[in-house]
Structure 1
Amino acid sequence: MFQSRAWAHINIDQITGNTMGTTYTIQFRLQNNLATQQQIKVLVEQELERVNSALSVYRSDSEISILNLNDTGNPILVSERLRDVLQISKTISSQTYGAFDVTLGPVIEFWGFGVKARDLQNKDRGQLELARSKTGMDGFTLSSKAITKVIRGLEINPSAVAKGYGVDRVAKVLDGAGLLNYLVEIGGEVRTRGVGVRGRDWIVAVTRPEKFSLEIQQLINLKDMSMATSGSYVNYIESGDRQLSHIIDPTTGIPAENSLVSATVLHQQCAVADGFATAMMILSVEQSINIANAIGLPVMLIEQTNTGLKTHFSKSISPYLSIRGL
Structure 2
Amino acid sequence: MGTRYSAVFYAPVGQDTSVLHARLFQAVDAVDQQMSTWKPDSALMRLNALPVGEWMEIPDALLWVLSTALRIEHESQGAFDIGVGDLVNAWGFGAGGQSAEVLAANGGQTRHRASAALEIDFSTQRVRKRLPITLDLNGIAKGFGVDQLAHCLEQAGIKHYLVGIDGEMRAAGHKPSGDPWNIAIEKPLRGLREVMGVMELSDASIATSGDYRHWVERDGVLYSHTMDPARGRALHSPLAAVSVVATSCMYADAWATALMVLGPDEGVALAQQRGMDAVFLLRDGDGFKQIAVFDGQVQ
- TM-score with structure 1 length normalisation? 0.85
| 8 Å CA contact retained: 2:111, 2:229 | no
Following superposition, the deviation at residue 77 of structure 1 comes to: 1.5
The change in CA–CA distance for 1:122 and 1:204 in structure 2 (over 3 A counts) is closer
1:261 and 2:240 aligned: yes
- For residue 203 of structure 1, give the secondary structure of its aligned residue in structure 2: strand
Residue type matched to 1:52 in 2?
A: D
Verify: 1:139 aligned to 2:117, yes or no. yes
Q: Is residue 176 of structure 1 aligned with residue 175 of structure 2?
A: no
Equivalence map 1:158-237=2 (5 Å): 158-237=137-216
Q: CA deviation at 1:205?
A: 1.9
* Equivalent pair of 1:44/1:170 in contact (CA under 8 Å): yes
The residue aligned with 2:45 is: 65
Kindly indicate whether residue 12 of structure 2 is the aligned counterpart of residue 31 of structure 1. yes
Task: Give the gaps of 5 or more residues in structure 1.
Answer: 1-19, 322-326
Q: 1:115 aligns with which of 95, 118, 122?
A: 95
In the alignment, does 2:294 pair up with 1:302? no
Please give the secondary structure, in 2, of the residue aligned with 1:112.
Answer: coil
Note the C-alpha offset of 1:177.
1.0
Provide the C-alpha distance between the structure 1 equivalents of 2:203 and 2:176, rounded to a whole number of angstroms: 15
Contact 1:106–1:135 under 8 Å retained in 2: no
1:274 to 233, 248, 253: 253
State the Cα distance separating 1:134 from its structure 2 match. Answer: 5.0
| Residue identity matched to 1:98 | G
The yes-or-no answer on 1:74 pairing with 2:76 is no
> Structure 2 unaligned runs (5+)?
none
Give the secondary structure class of the aligned counterpart of 1:205: strand
Q: Find runs of 4+ consecutive structure 1 residues off by over 6 angstroms.
A: none
SS at match of 1:314: strand
TM-superposed CA distance for 1:212, in Å, is: 4.7
Give me the whole-angstrom Cα distance separating, in 2, the residues matched to 1:245 and 1:208: 16
CA change 1:218–1:87 in 2 (3 A) is farther
Instruction: Give the Cα–Cα distance (whole angstroms) in 1 for the partners of residues 198 and 38 of structure 2.
Output: 34
Supply the distance in 1 between the matched residues of 2:2 and 2:42 (Cα, whole angstroms).
15
Say whether the 8 Å CA contact 1:260–1:285 is kept in structure 2: yes
Compute the TM-score of the two structures, normalised by the length of structure 2.
Answer: 0.92
Distance in 2 between residues matched to 1:114 and 1:316, nearest whole Å: 35
Cα shift at 1:76: 2.1
Tell me the matched-pair count.
296
Residues 73-95 of structure 1 deviation map (CA, whole Å, 9 limit, x = unaligned): 23322111111111221121112
